[in-house]
Structure 1
Amino acid sequence: MTDRTATQDRTDIPAHPSPDGSEASQQEGSVGSDLVPVLRGVNAAIVSASTREELADRVCTYLSDSPRYRAACLCDRPTCAGQSDNWTVAGAEPGETPTLLDDCFAPADAEASESGPSPVSIDAGQTGWWTVFTLTYHGTSYGAFGVLSSQQSLPDRERTVLQELATVIGHAITAVETRRLLAAPAVVEIELVSSDTTNPLVAAATQVGCRFTLDGLLPTTGTGGVAYLTVENASVVAASEQLTESFADDVTVVTESPTGEGTLAWRLNTDTVLGQFRAHGAQVTETLVTSESARYTVELASGSDVRSVLQCVRQRYPDTRLRSKRELERPVQPPRLTDDDLASLTDRQRSVMEAAFHAGYYRWPRAATAEEVATSLDISAATLHGHLRKAEHQLLEKLFATGPRPIHDGTR
């Protein structure tokens, strides 16, 4: 192989002639029909992959089997950063992977697009050109993938389609890591401490003089998730306003006590530490944020790339350190109800809930209204709602109140 140099992919760079001598406009028009069956195969492979390695192998195989590309490759984030050499390759020898420069995928500014930096073209000598894309999902980079073709610059439409595919692969990696965590026979527990004042929660805690603890971190469509946070020692309204004003995030007050403390819901992006954890499929079990620092205890599936997670966090919040790391021989168990939990309901609560269930009140669309269920039990609709609300709250508290465990200062 000859020396390879990377250049930012530009539409004004003339492409190498295609084997049949067709013009660029003809190439542009054929992109859709040629790529449709390939993308269908890639999507099917992504959905059925059970591990990240299997996902990478299937993506590269499908792309390299396409008549449009001579080879395909995929690497993880440490490889992009020059810290390892972990490539999956199909259609080429391992040594023929693209040489990534340190600044290949450095964003032009802090306002990098959701889809990540622009693709780059890398000279592969006699075999053609690699076009390399970052695997980015909601602002988090998982690595890169490339296709080898005879063209130095792929048609605009083709690059757009492949950039969208890179986002799909990034999303799939998140899903695979989450499934691994839930199915893992053991977990790696890490504790991170961040005193970075640009951390939104640390900054808000400093300004308001409050303390945050995490009650729950849930996935949502199109974001890094939503965090439910308890605010202590200060007004939950003031904490919410500070987060909203300083970081323009979607923050909502959920509950407020007579003393002003309460709970807020914060819709995250992956630029936050909690959002990064969500993006990596990790489970945050403990969180404590004060004006001095933020402490997080996180569980990942055994064998996960802890260094990559820490690197992602440090890239945005440099003053973050790994305080501890240990492997625990316990699977991550989803919350569940037991017979004892059901037995804690009163006879009336249980009978009302069972009647509502059998009547189809909980179906969608409902097979019976609350008024109809109440009439069958010879009670008022208000009484029915009262029994159902108390029973539902009691069961949901059993189910979800054992989420993230609060960190107590100095002890656990």
Structure 2
Amino acid sequence: MTRTEGGDARSGGECAYDPSVTGDESFFRTLVESASDAIVTVDETGGIVFANPAIEETFGYDPETLIGRSVTALVPEDQRPRIRAAFDALQSTAAPPSDWEGVETVGRHRDGRLVPIELSLGAHRHDGAWLLTAMVRDVSDRHAERVERHRERDLTEQLLRTVPTGLVVLSDEGVIERMNDRAGEILGADPADVIGDSRETDAWRLLDADGEPVPPDERVFQMARDSGRPVTEVEQRVERTDGERVWVRVSAAPLSDGDDSGRVVVVVEDISNQKARERRLREQNEQLERLDRINAVIRGIDQALVRATTRREIDEAVCEALAAADPYHSAWIGDVNASSDEVTPRAHGGDVADYLEEITVTRSAEPNGTGPAGRAIRSRSVQVTHDVDTDPAFEGVRAAAAAHDIRSAASVPLVYDGTIYGVVTVYADEPGAFDGTEQDVLAELGATIGHAINAVTTRQALVAEHVTELRLAVDDDDHFFAALSAALDCEVAFEGATVQADETFRYYLRVAGANPDDVLAFADEFAGVESARIVSVGPEGESLLEATLDAGSAFGVIADHGGAVRSASAAEGECEVVAELPVSADVRAVVDALDDAFADIEVRAQRDRPRSETDSVASPPSFDADLTDRQRTAVETAYYAGFFEWPRESTGEEVAESLGVSAPTFHKHLRVAERKLLAARFDDDSTTQRH
């Protein structure tokens, strides 16, 4: 600062002053002493030669105590070597040191703490030596504010990096200014690649719940910007560049930063897992509702099966009930035509009659058996077509199926005890209508229907005026009768049989021409014979053999189809069986089942005849004695075992042992059965009421 001659105000450098006022030294002393900033002057050795009172507030030193001390007392220890070197250099040069103005650095307080300061430094020469004067301002508050701003910025950056939701900041024009990594993960874009892009970026597309693009005026950014209010929890989908669609929940709010910039922050949450859980829960609920409906239908079918007295009633009740059960709309039951191998519908429910006229289904895979009905008959398990539009089996009838709103199908074999009584096919108007659980339920329903058909067929057979007679020849070592006659060169005649509670058969065979001990030994070693004993030996050496076999015999197969054995005999390894079947029985199915059981079986004759011509040995009594299963088994076993002969061929204990019960239990069942039979014979009502 310089002064010009005269009394007018002059300007020198950055100061303007009136020499008439400022010429007095006291003016400047007062100015320096009253300054709020610390002022300190040092010589070229670094010694302090002047310090104003403000130095105490800034550095904690009494100004008088600093005179003569090195200025390094006001400098942090790590900077002192550099300061000393600077003063050493100053003493060896005539060039003026550089002026500093507004340089921020750090000073050292008397108590050792560091003080943020702003330093302005000027140099002038006095008596040929350099003097340096520094203006020092304590900027601790400013520094604290700056530190706080840095801390908040760091915290904000940390939040952006670690927050589990995506954050996107957009300008008023919709330009992406900030995006955290999580937003990039959700949206499938690298934040570095999309910063500066418009919200219409090609990196992703916003879609609504139906998969349609979201209009601009329905996007949360636009709604928040235009309304000036937050928009929360809008569920949309994002289609990423890789084609994946992700469910997101989007919220947006205007940012108030004081500059009226119009920025908007958008929060993006990935709710794909939540949507997946909701979808699974919804599917489970729908499945439960569907199963409830199906179970209700099955209960109704069960009641109809109990009331049904004919196979036709069963078929119609089943088809009508299934056709009325949502999501099904039609159903039909078919049988295999033995001569053509075609599956012929015998009943239907719903609008499916015209469709059945247009299709042909065969039991064999070729030419038309690759659909669910043909597969179900061959496999005897539930078969499903989940989507008619994609199943090759429906290629030729796809148009007809579409015309009848058939989108999926399930075929259920009606099987009971190894016998198939047809197949029921159900149609639905939506693909994928038959999941695993539903198939299990339908399989149980098929078994129930099969059992009901078997029961009705059996009842009809008992009262039918005509029967179908089959004459069979079995030449197989697996058949006990044939094998026994071949092994011992004897003749075997069937006397009778009873069915046990465990579905095994107890046979009574008259064996001639063989030693009884050899007969028993052969029976004990034969596979499938569970127990055997010689009941009696006749005067000619013929023996009555009691043998319990499993159900895998010709007798068992015939019984499974509602039939009974009329007679059977074996000689020289060949067994001839005459069987009676209900006229409604599927003879082809019986023969197929026998073919499966034995390697060499031949049907020698088949005819329908009046039942009155003969009395089948396996037929029930001609009068209804209302016997329980145990009572009937007890009296039949006793009869065939010779319990009623005189002298007895089997004792009560022996018959009881055959039955697997105690002697008192056997006698109890036998006495009750005898009383019921006699009461039925003599029509004694009072006796029938006794127990």
Distance 2:436 2:477 in 1: 41
Distance 2:320 2:463 in 1: 27
Q: How does 1:9-408 map to 2 (within 5 A)?
A: 24-78=283-337, 82-83=341-342, 85-91=344-350, 92-93=352-353, 94-95=356-357, 99-100=361-362, 102-103=364-365, 117-122=380-385, 123=388, 125=398, 126=402, 127-149=406-428, 150-152=430-432, 154-221=434-501, 223=503, 226-234=506-514, 242=522, 245-253=525-533, 255-257=535-537, 261-269=543-551, 271-302=552-583, 304-317=585-598, 319-331=600-612, 334-336=620-622
1:169 aligned counterpart, secondary structure: helix
1:45 aligned counterpart, secondary structure: helix
Q: How far 1:285 moved relative to its partner?
A: 0.9
User: Do 2:506 and 2:546's aligned partners in 1 also have CA atoms closer than 8 Å?
Assistant: no
Q: How far 1:281 moved relative to its partner?
A: 1.0
Distance 1:79 1:325 in 2: 15
Larger strand percent = 2
| Number of positions where the alignment pairs a residue of Structure 1 with one of Structure 2 | 318
Q: How far 1:36 moved relative to its partner?
A: 2.2
Letter in 2 for 1:99: V
Deviation per residue, 1:34-68 (Å, 9 max, x gap): 22221111112222222222222221111212124
Letter in 1 for 2:543: E
TM-align CA RMSD:
4.0
Structure 1 unaligned regions, length at least 5: 1-19, 106-115, 338-369, 371-384, 400-412
Q: How far 1:301 moved relative to its partner?
A: 3.3
Distance 2:456 2:478 in 1: 31
Letter in 1 for 2:293: D
Distance 2:439 2:585 in 1: 31
What TM-score, normalized to structure 2? Answer: 0.40
User: Do 1:217 and 1:284's aligned partners in 2 also have CA atoms closer than 8 Å?
Assistant: no
Closer, same or farther: CA 117–327 of 1 in aligned 2, 3 Å: closer
User: Do 2:529 and 2:547's aligned partners in 1 also have CA atoms closer than 8 Å?
Assistant: no
Letter in 2 for 1:88: A
Q: How far 1:305 moved relative to its partner?
A: 3.8
User: Do 1:131 and 1:146's aligned partners in 2 also have CA atoms closer than 8 Å?
Assistant: yes
| More displaced stretch, 245-254 vs 176-185 | 245-254
Deviation per residue, 1:361-401 (Å, 9 max, x gap): xxxxxxxxx9xxxxxxxxxxxxxx9xx98x969x89xx9xx
* Structure ID, larger Rg: 2
Q: How far 1:260 moved relative to its partner?
A: 8.2
Distance 1:282 1:296 in 2: 12
What TM-score, normalized to structure 1? Answer: 0.64
Closer, same or farther: CA 392–43 of 1 in aligned 2, 3 Å: closer
Closer, same or farther: CA 131–222 of 1 in aligned 2, 3 Å: farther
**Percent sequence identity over aligned pairs:** 24
Closer, same or farther: CA 41–220 of 1 in aligned 2, 3 Å: farther
Q: How far 1:242 moved relative to its partner?
A: 5.0
Distance 1:290 1:138 in 2: 30
User: Do 1:71 and 1:147's aligned partners in 2 also have CA atoms closer than 8 Å?
Assistant: yes
User: Do 2:334 and 2:422's aligned partners in 1 also have CA atoms closer than 8 Å?
Assistant: yes
Distance 1:158 1:70 in 2: 16
Closer, same or farther: CA 249–55 of 1 in aligned 2, 3 Å: farther
Q: How far 1:238 moved relative to its partner?
A: 5.7
Distance 2:315 2:592 in 1: 21
2:605 aligned counterpart, secondary structure: strand
Distance 2:326 2:382 in 1: 21
Closer, same or farther: CA 38–392 of 1 in aligned 2, 3 Å: closer
Distance 2:293 2:521 in 1: 51
Closer, same or farther: CA 159–72 of 1 in aligned 2, 3 Å: same
Distance 2:318 2:524 in 1: 40
Letter in 2 for 1:177: T
Higher relative contact order (CA 8 A, sep 6+): 1
User: Do 1:72 and 1:147's aligned partners in 2 also have CA atoms closer than 8 Å?
Assistant: yes
Q: How far 1:288 moved relative to its partner?
A: 1.0
Distance 2:577 2:468 in 1: 14
Q: How far 1:79 moved relative to its partner?
A: 6.8
2:328 aligned counterpart, secondary structure: coil
User: Do 1:211 and 1:233's aligned partners in 2 also have CA atoms closer than 8 Å?
Assistant: yes
Closer, same or farther: CA 210–22 of 1 in aligned 2, 3 Å: farther
Q: How far 1:274 moved relative to its partner?
A: 1.0
